[in-house]
Amino acid sequence: MNQEASTAAPQDRIVSILEQGAAEPGGLLPSLHAIQDATGFIPEECIANIARAFNLSQAEVHGVITFYHDFRTTPPAKHAVRICRAEACQSMGAEKLLAHAVQALGCGLHEKTPDGMFSLEPVYCLGHCACSPAIMLDGAMHARVTPERFDQLVASVKEGT
């Protein structure tokens, strides 16, 4: 990203991203990622412009955005919780931990808490299989997480907010 692009207003930045992306074969996904990186999400009001840039229908663009769980059309939660659901973590209680997280946070997978404080997403291996179950909270790794430890981590994040 060049300096000019990184300081541009979000709408100008999106226009620039779409101009560049439309000129590249297979440019839709990189453009969607770039828009989300620039603005934190893909605003619904941009979908018509994206569709026009790539000569697609709005339904097709929407289909791509909703197919990939990494894309979001609303602002992200303040804190991101990712729970590993891969094999090693599953064998060490990840599903129980996930059920606890759903109850403790009050939101399901791929959702945000009603106050917008937390989002809950699955991941499939965080590279800490020997210390399962593992989670990531705001990019920080936590290993051997019990439901009690999960509550402590969430409480510490809330206190720091």
Asked if 86 interacts with ligand FES (CB under 6 A), we say yes
Asked if 100 interacts with ligand FES (CB under 6 A), we say no
CA distances in angstroms from 19 to 27, 50, 126, listed in the order given? 10, 10, 35
Given the complex with ligand FES, which of 13 and 82 has the nearer CB atom? Answer: 82
Residue 132 C-beta: closest distance to ligand FES, Å: 5
* Contact status, residue 38 vs residue 10, Cβ threshold 8 Å: yes
Residue 39 C-beta: closest distance to ligand FES, Å: 30
Given the complex with ligand FES, which of 89 and 105 has the nearer CB atom? Answer: 89
Sign, CA dihedral 42-48-54-58, equals: positive
Given the complex with ligand FES, which of 78 and 85 has the nearer CB atom? Answer: 85
Sign, CA dihedral 6-43-61-56, equals: negative
Asked if 129 interacts with ligand FES (CB under 6 A), we say yes
Tokens at residue 9, please?
């207003």
Which residues contribute to the site for ligand FES (CB under 6 A)? 84, 86-89, 125-129, 132, 134
